[in-house]
Structure 1
């Protein structure tokens, strides 16, 4: 009986984590470029108990474990990221772009605590920020520089009349009434998006890779400039389906209540046993 109590308590803790994931999805249902996350559960350690006295039931050739299996509940195995494209909203703004291909992402340069690393996002709302003397830099809404085909941030002289990004990801700048191309976005593809780590701010990063046989190229791959599929003057909305989230929330809450009821019944039965002594 105490084992059932442990199973219920462990599972309740993990169900709360799933409810937190659902709450995060709902809160970001209107965030540009936000990607839905889903929680997958796995069973914890099982113990096989051979309690059958029937020889035929445990005969040679049996393909299932003998006796019964007792586990220790369930845990949140992994949180998957759905990088499929969301609904496109036309804005007609020159620096707004929407990535049309699933799993394609922009690269941005993020500096935290003196450490600079490359992170990835689907949020195509880009802006210009002052950079150095008479320079401008293309950045995200939070000020993180966007990486171009040169491998570094995309910068311009600040004497521009207009700027926009075309459907090939090229930055088109107008000076003196003439348009010139001054840089191009470097798009990448998340080959295994389930391994990306969310860092907040609608950004993702590569995990810490310790296995020498497992390299970053297995997770993120380059996309040739000619293969860029971009819609300019538009933004990609969140791909969160609110009806699905509400359904999963109800299911998770019911499962939580069932496990809580198990603990309550366990306490009541132990109380009865103590009264019989």
Structure 2
């Protein structure tokens, strides 16, 4: 395969990865609390080809000798766009939208029999029955929400329940009401170190120092906007523009391979 065709093939593979990222953003345009992913291209390794016929010309030369030939383009690290999405009022008592960027709800997830703490911006909560007459505050998939004293669990039989702007779970029983639990909000000191996973969760890699990345939120103002949800921060028009540009780039590289193949065919038919 010629150098031109090899460069185009390598670049096409990376463009396909970019299209996958853009497609994932578009498909999650309506996902509560979703954070879009961003990608940038960078040049891959280049090869130095010496084209000097007279070594004596090297002396006093100001520009690098030879020709630098690249081997295509590749995607750099996928970055999370942590900008806050718009907020939509739902009037649902157990919906909550975080008011600050880089803050997260903590979720207790069990994977392969092991418990771990993951983070999410999705504040759509539910009550799930557990042992006896106790209910737990969970995600839509049943993962327990973590409060200041561990997973949030309360006694059933209440008349009303809602979250206030401080993240407290206010429970009304008869003529009395009290804060029976409080959400444990975490703040990302280094949000770029968070890794996105499925189900709209973020995690911290096992090799990272948790204390250098996450800490308990210590703000004194309202921590959540109750009865509301944060929408995805995907800019749909920009995503469609990026997809169109990537598709054009893919087509150009595909055309390069076709032209290279045609040129090779013409060369092979030449007779001296």
SS at match of 1:182: strand
Structure 2, unaligned runs of 5 or more = none
Pairing 1:229–2:203 present: no
C-alpha change, 1:174 and 1:244, in structure 2 (3 Å) is same
Deviations 1:77-127 (CA, angstroms, capped at 9, x unpaired):
211111211111011111101012111111101112112111111101111
Deviations 1:231-259 (CA, angstroms, capped at 9, x unpaired):
01101111111110011001100110111
| 1-structure distance, mates of 2:25, 2:33 | 12
Q: Where does residue 199 of structure 1 map in the other structure? A: 197
Q: Where does residue 124 of structure 2 map in the other structure? A: 125
| 2-structure distance, mates of 1:132, 1:28 | 35
Q: Where does residue 181 of structure 2 map in the other structure? A: 183
Matches within 5 A, 1:116-265: 116-150=115-149, 152-209=150-207, 214-224=208-218, 226=220, 229-265=223-259
| 2-structure distance, mates of 1:94, 1:109 | 22
Deviations 1:105-163 (CA, angstroms, capped at 9, x unpaired):
1110111211211111110111111121111111111111111112x201101121111
C-alpha change, 1:276 and 1:153, in structure 2 (3 Å) is same
C-alpha change, 1:110 and 1:65, in structure 2 (3 Å) is farther
TM-score (norm 2): 0.92
Aligned length: 271
| 2-structure distance, mates of 1:60, 1:227 | 66
Q: Where does residue 26 of structure 2 map in the other structure? A: 26
C-alpha change, 1:81 and 1:58, in structure 2 (3 Å) is farther
Moved more, 48-57 or 216-225: 48-57
C-alpha change, 1:119 and 1:57, in structure 2 (3 Å) is farther
Q: Is the 8 A contact 1:187 1:228 kept in 2?
A: no
C-alpha change, 1:228 and 1:47, in structure 2 (3 Å) is farther
CA RMSD of superposed structures (Å): 2.1
| 2-structure distance, mates of 1:23, 1:158 | 43
| 2-structure distance, mates of 1:34, 1:116 | 23
| 2-structure distance, mates of 1:227, 1:137 | 26
C-alpha change, 1:148 and 1:275, in structure 2 (3 Å) is same
Q: Is the 8 A contact 1:34 1:237 kept in 2?
A: yes
